[in-house]
Amino acid sequence: MANADRVEIARLIHRFGFGPKPGEYAQLVGAGLKAARQQVLTPPSTDTGLLKVANPTLTDLGPFPPQKSAAANTFEAARSQQILALQLWWLDRMALADHGLNERLTWFWHGHWATAIGKVEYALPMYIQNQLLRSTALLNFRDQARAMITDSALLYWLDGDSNVAGSPNENLAREFMELFTLGVGAYSESDVQQIARALTGYNTVRSAGTSSFNIKRHDNSLLTFLGTSGKFDAPAISDYLTTLPTNQDFITRRLWCRFISSTDSIIESGISSAFATRDILPLAQAIGTSAAMSNPLHSQSKSPVEWFISVCRALGVTPSALQHNANVIHFLSTMGQVPFDPPNVGGWPTDEAWLNISSMQARLAFSKYIISQVKLDSLANLPKTDVRIQYLGDLLGVASWSTRTKSVFRTALGDPAQLILIAINAPEYVVNA
């Protein structure tokens, strides 16, 4: 197997999934590039790995009780418990899915529609949004956007839940165009103001994760924007915007940025046409089989969640089963990325932003926490030679180790825990080559 194919297969399994389970990378390499593409980019009808993950029990907790009241402590304990259950549930799904594509695209869409529980405060609305993103992750973007524009958590996050005719606020209107459908510069300030009027009249029950439309508070006047005029409600706005050619180009670029390169924005011709109908799976497949996948320049850093989940998958770890599992969220927080809590509506940064002293320190401590809890028998049963180095590359989906990293491995060949520590902190693993 040419090294170039090993690199491309490692990219496939890390970018269109969350890294290999034991044996998976060697199997894909053995099957060859063509078969590997087919396997990684085709979702199965059922995923037996996911059958092991039960949905969390989340209830409508109702409004916050008065501060310092007797009920406040009970409420806060239940709220925190539900948020932790939600976060671990999703991490478990990422780690246990046999096939990573659908969870990986759900993760992508979460970063795209970046809604933060720091403001939403309840697990239930975030769960409902997450299931919406999951059920549409590989299907049609127009359907996804139409559902998202009245999603309870998103409405609350962008102040779209109290917008009334006469004096709307522009937050949802602007971000819906700038970040979710068209991209910055594809609209004017007048378009923002017109669309903000169409988005009036929506309300949410935040703790329940529901939304409703009150036509009396809706501005139903004639609006003119982006080459059209008429009367619009929120779903009609979404439908119009997602039909525009700019939308086809913008969403293609968003996927390109996260799956190929955050710096090289020159997209191969033909890629965006795969998104003509706004079906997401063909676009993901076009990107995953593009020539850019073998371009040596297109390496990408693993974000903290991507790094953690890929370690879990290789080592057979179920995140929620780790000791004091709230520590998982704590470590992810010190690395700067907690699921359901992006820093702002732009989502998480890429590449160099994750390669700093602060994340390095957190990664090291996190590594030790994980390694102390796993059995390393398969590694320990191998001879204490370079066989172990080869094994680690196949286990973790690293195409090749550098001379530098091999020399570090050779200082610890007899110590399986130390070998894993070196491997998962090596530049070749932290960065998908």
Partner 1 sequence: MDTISRRRFLQLVGAGAAGAAATRLSVADIVFAGQTRPLPTGTPILVVVTLYGGNDGLNTVIPYADPIYKQSRPGIFVDDSHLIPLDAELALNGAMTGFKSLWDNQNLAIIRGVGYPDPVLSHFSSMAIWQSAFPTSLTNSGWIGRWLDTQKHDPMNAIGLGSVLPPLLAGVHSVGSVLPLGGLVVPDRASAFALHRLGLPDSSDGPLQAAAAASISDFLNLGKNVTPILKKPAPTPDILPTQGGGSFGSDSSLTQQLDVVAKLIAANAPTKVWAVSLGGFDTHADEVKAQSSLLGTVSQAVTRFIGQMHGSNRQNDVVVLVYSEFGRRVKANGTQGTDHGTAGPVFVIGNGVDGGKFYGDEPSLSKLVDGNLAVTTDFRDIYAAMLEDVLKVQAGQVIPGWSSKLPLMLKG
Residue ranges in contact with partner 1 by CB under 8 A: 158-159, 162-164, 166-171, 174, 178-179, 184-185, 189, 192, 263, 296-297, 299-301, 333-336, 343-346, 349, 351-362, 364, 368, 400, 402-405, 407-408, 411-412, 418, 421-422, 425-428, 430-431, 433
Least spacing, CB of residue 184 vs partner 1, in Å: 5
CB 117 within 8 A of CB 341: yes
Nearer to partner 1, 130 or 303 (CB): 303
What does the alpha-carbon distance between residue 282 and residue 190 come to, in Å, rounded to a whole number?
35
CB 202 within 8 A of CB 212: yes
Nearer to partner 1, 40 or 420 (CB): 420
What does the alpha-carbon distance between residue 312 and residue 317 come to, in Å, rounded to a whole number?
5
CB 234 within 8 A of CB 256: no
CB atoms within 10 A of CB 84: 17
DSSP string, 72-109: HHHHHHHHHHHHHHHHHHHHHHHHH-SS-HHHHHHHHH
Least spacing, CB of residue 136 vs partner 1, in Å: 25
What SS3 state is found at 184?
Answer: coil
Nearer to partner 1, 87 or 261 (CB): 261
Position 237, amino acid: I
Nearer to partner 1, 71 or 360 (CB): 360
Least spacing, CB of residue 369 vs partner 1, in Å: 12
What does the alpha-carbon distance between residue 412 and residue 16 come to, in Å, rounded to a whole number?
32
Least spacing, CB of residue 343 vs partner 1, in Å: 8
Nearer to partner 1, 107 or 401 (CB): 401
CB 137 within 8 A of CB 102: yes
CB 33 within 8 A of CB 5: yes
Strand partners, 223: 230
Least spacing, CB of residue 27 vs partner 1, in Å: 26
Least spacing, CB of residue 284 vs partner 1, in Å: 23
Least spacing, CB of residue 60 vs partner 1, in Å: 23
What does the alpha-carbon distance between residue 363 and residue 357 come to, in Å, rounded to a whole number?
10
CB within 8 A of 202, min separation 6: which ones? 150, 155, 160, 161, 163, 211, 212, 213, 214, 234
Nearer to partner 1, 237 or 399 (CB): 399
Nearer to partner 1, 24 or 219 (CB): 219
CB 157 within 8 A of CB 115: yes
Nearer to partner 1, 227 or 296 (CB): 296
Least spacing, CB of residue 118 vs partner 1, in Å: 10
